Structure 1
Amino acid sequence: MKLERLSTGAKLYLRPIGLGSGLPLAGGRARFAAVELSVRQVDVVEIVGTFAVEDAANVVARLPAVLAARFDTLWTRLTTPRAALALPTGALDLATPQVMGILNVTPDSFSDGGRHDDPAKAVAAAQAMVAAGAALVDIGGESTRPRAPHVPLDVELARVGPVLDGLQGQGMPLSIDTRQSAVMARALAAGAGLVNDVSALAHDPQTLPLVAAAGCPVVLMHAQGTPQHMQDAPQYDNCLRDVFDWLEARIDAVAAGGVARDRIIVDPGIGFGKTIAHNLELIAGIGMLHGLGCPILLGVSRKKLIGVIDGDVEAHDRLGGSLTLALAGLDQGVQLLRVHDVPATMQAVRVWQALRASGGQA
């Protein structure tokens, strides 16, 4: 690697590879034995080379000072355990993969729209998810599938309010999936402990100060465009690094707004303004996002890319593909899986953990 010749104006990236052995990745069960080093100048990405983890000190010593400082920051983030998430129901340990169950109380979500329109059914579904092992139940009253129409605030509140009321006082670990500050406030008051915003707190200007004041964890998701138009020919110069850069800038902005960095979770936004090729690139390289220093949430459950790959199968027939993609994420150290099928995913996670333990990697 010609490290000494790299331009100080380039941006440096580290992607953990050699998965399965070596150092714990972000303090979790996944491990990495090597790293791919790449740089980007303007829109040109160059894969400089790969090195074993034990050679990290030698590599950084050969870099120009500016790039060496960037290397040290990314290396620290790759190798430092993530702090547990503080929730009203207790601390959520991120050294072990956790599952977030999806509870859409909408008539038009792509997979389960209309299934939980009765609040009693929604409450029962949430209880079943927690009983099956879900660490969080993510309640949403607005579909953000491609081409989804805008949902008025009063309608969204009317959908989620009765469900929140039905679950209040049960000690349920709840999160709220919304872009609206009024919905966030309603959910937090009812006991929800985490905000999951597909707009990364950019849709409603009141969301950032609200989350900062609440002190709750928040998921910042990448999306190119709005739900109505995000699949209109999405384009990237380099999807994996474009998403990395966007999330890095958004983390800085949200932290500057008063949200502690150890309360920020990132989501690459699979299916949100991405082609099938973009989605696969992100999933295959998602380990690079550990360089952001935040826990990673992966939402691939029943997504369209599975149906396209497998001959246009319907959403309810995509469990096998959902589990395959989830396990690919676990191999790269993803801490949170957002899923429709909690029991099957929990089984897959437990088997994955047992395999790691049998190899002396627990």
Structure 2
Amino acid sequence: MSRCRRDPSKEARPSQRRAERRAPASPPNVGAGAPSNAGARPLATPATPARDAGTPRDVPIAPGKHRFEQTIAVRRKSCYPQEMSPLRMLLERRRSVVIMGVLNRTPDSFSDGGRFADEETALAQIDAMLSEGADMIDIGAESTRPGAQPVPDDEQIARIGGSVRDAVRRGALVSIDTTSPAVAARALDDGAAVVNTISLDSAAELGALCARRGASLVLMHSRGPMSAMAGFSAYPDDAYGDVVADVAREWSSAAERALEAGLPRGELVLDPGLGFAKNARQSLELCARLDELCALGFPVLVGPSRKSFLARAAAAEASEQGDRAGAALAPPPERLGGTVAAALACAARGAAAVRVHDVRPVRQALDVMRAIERAGPGHRRGAGAPLAQGARGDG
């Protein structure tokens, strides 16, 4: 994205800048009739908002803001043809992989169904994930486990309760996990900035909604409804000719519908749908070849957290090595190691964001991976943040 270039004809001369620096600044919200300081232009009244020279005439300055805030807002408007959403700004300024923390307000999710069904525990989990380093919170009220039946809109809204508002009040960037435009619209009303859908079928309708509301859309690849999924990581080997090429083609077709509905290209995020209409081998191949999906030009979000393909992959490797104990399938709460491994592998291949239940360990793993990369020969020695001193007894 190109930066705005300064117009030399509209730059203040050095003598003028020195005079302005010497003059005391006018306080914000000074009325037009109040005496102004010599050498400094008085702030206008709200009825006639002031404008900086050289900025577009159609960019208003909100009354009541400090001059610095006004100037930044105007310059940002003039740099970008349209206002960027919070998610797009987060992705563009990120120094590491963005972490999306999962909050399931469901009684039957495969991993933690029922744990955060009431308002008090849900709020505690929001606070915990934010304190552990989550960059955004994904809130959902409809289970996506295999065989799950659709949940009516009013029931989803009732389950979510005040969670979106609570998270927004705490300064969180909030995503609503739903296939329903009505549920998505309600969450956007409550302050959510992202819609996260597991259905390609709703791409056009949700794309239009996000376009109208200035929100981002995370569009996940899947085939058919959850009620039709046969089981965890159960999908025919021959269902895809080339799983990466087929996912890219099917996702791109749905993405085109969202874009045609008015969604700006920069507000669309690709999720390959690990575990959704894919068996373990297919999900692993998507992780291994994620760079090919990143080449499509959209930010890529992956959601490997606690999924069955991790347990199957670990069990298969353990079985090959003769480890009978390790060959048993680990239940969802015992898949943290696999979650971390998949997150690191996908990050190394270009993932922009990961969706996880266990924020702190994944955040730590990504931070250490980045520290190791920065310590390599390709980086200037001594660059970056200093390492913290270890506690007594650290090795």
Question: Residue 62 of structure 1 aligns with which residue?
Answer: none
Give distance in 2, aligned partners of 1:301 and 1:167. Answer: 21
Letter in 1 for 2:136: L
Correspondent of 2:253 among 239, 249, 254: 249
Give the counterpart of 1:320 among 321, 325, 337.
337
Confirm or deny: 8 A CA contact 1:176 1:187 kept in the other structure.
Answer: yes
Aligned length: 279
In the alignment, does 2:146 pair up with 1:142? no
Bigger share in strand: 1
TM-score (norm 2): 0.67
Q: Which one of the candidate residues 289, 299, 307 is aligned to 1:303?
A: 307
What's the TM-score, normalizing by structure 1? 0.73
Task: Say whether 1:288 aligns with 2:292.
Answer: yes
1:350 is aligned with what amino acid? D
4+ residue runs over 4 A deviation = none
Aligned to 1:97: 97
Query: Counterparts of 1:206 and 1:97 in 2: how far apart (Å)?
Result: 29
Output aligned runs, 1:34-49, within 5 Å.
Answer: none
Q: Mark the CA change 1:244 to 1:134 in structure 2 (over 3 Å): closer, same or farther.
A: same
Q: How much does 1:178 deviate?
A: 0.5
Q: What is the rounded CA distance, in whole Å, between the counterparts of 1:203 and 1:252 in structure 2?
A: 12
| Contact 2:280/2:310, CA 8 A, preserved across alignment | no
**Structure 1 residue aligned with 2:182:** 182
Stretches of structure 1 that go unaligned for 5 or more consecutive residues are 1-83
CA drift of 1:244 comes to 0.9
Residue pair 1:180, 1:204 contacting (<8 A) in 2 also = no
Kindly state the Cα deviation for residue 104 of structure 1 after the two structures are TM-superposed: 0.3
Percent sequence identity over aligned pairs: 38
User: 1:119 touches 1:166 (CA, 8 Å); kept in 2?
Assistant: no
Residues 264-309 of structure 1, C-alpha deviations (whole Å, 9 max, x = no match): 1000000110111111111111110112110000100000112223
Q: Which entry has the higher C-alpha Rg, 1 or 2?
A: 2
- Structure 1 residues 151-180: Cα deviation after superposition (integer angstroms, max 9, x where no partner): 111111101133224334332211110111
Q: Does 1:341 align with 2:358?
A: yes
SS at match of 2:275: coil
Larger relative contact order, structure 1 or 2 (CA cutoff 8 Å, min sep 6) = 1
Measure, in 2, the Cα distance between the counterparts of 1:102 and 1:265: 17
Query: Alpha-carbon deviations, 1:204-224, whole Å to 9, x = none?
Result: 864232111012111010001
- Say if 1:88 and 1:191, in contact at 8 Å, map to a contact too: no
Amino acid at match of 2:131: A
Corresponding position of 2:369: 352
Deviations 1:22-80 (A, max 9, x none): xxxxxxxxxxxxxxxxxxxxxxxxxxxxxxxxxxxxxxxxxxxxxxxxxxxxxxxxxxx
User: Could you tell me which residue of structure 1 aligns to residue 118 of structure 2?
Assistant: 118
Deviations 1:302-340 (A, max 9, x none): 001122233211000000011011110011010101000
Measure the CA separation in 2 of the matches of 1:85 and 1:196.
18
Change beyond 3 A, Cα 1:151–1:342 = same
**C-alpha contact (below 8 Å) 1:106/1:159 kept by paired residues:** yes
Indicate if the aligned counterparts of 1:106 and 1:117 stay in contact, CA closer than 8 A: yes
Distance 1:212 1:123 in 2: 29
**Unaligned stretches of 5+ in structure 2?**
1-82, 316-327, 385-395
Distance 2:258 2:94 in 1: 21
- Report the 3-state secondary structure (helix = DSSP H, G, I; strand = E; otherwise coil) of the residue aligned with 1:203: helix
Distance 2:283 2:108 in 1: 23
- After the TM superposition, which of the residue ranges 92-101 and 290-299 deviates more from structure 2? 92-101
Question: 1:1-362 to 2 correspondence within 5 Å?
Answer: 86-87=85-86, 91-92=90-91, 93-200=93-200, 202-203=201-202, 206-231=205-230, 233-234=235-236, 235-309=239-313, 310=315, 311-359=328-376, 360-361=378-379
**What secondary structure, in the 3-state scheme, does the structure 2 residue paired with 1:274 have?**
coil
The C-alpha deviation readout for 1:216-273, integer Å capped at 9, x for no partner, is 1110100012111134744111111000111222222211111111111000000110
Query: Does structure 2 retain, via aligned residues, the 8 Å contact 1:85–1:91?
Result: no
For 1:304 and 1:241, the matched residues in 2 are separated by: 23
Cα separation, 1, equivalents of 2:246 and 2:202:
20
Q: Helix, strand or coil for the counterpart of 2:107?
A: coil
Q: CA deviation at 1:94?
A: 4.0
C-alpha distance in structure 1 between counterparts of 2:89 and 2:255, whole Å: 24
SS of corresponding position for 2:226: coil
Tell me the amino acid that sits aligned with residue 267 of structure 1: D
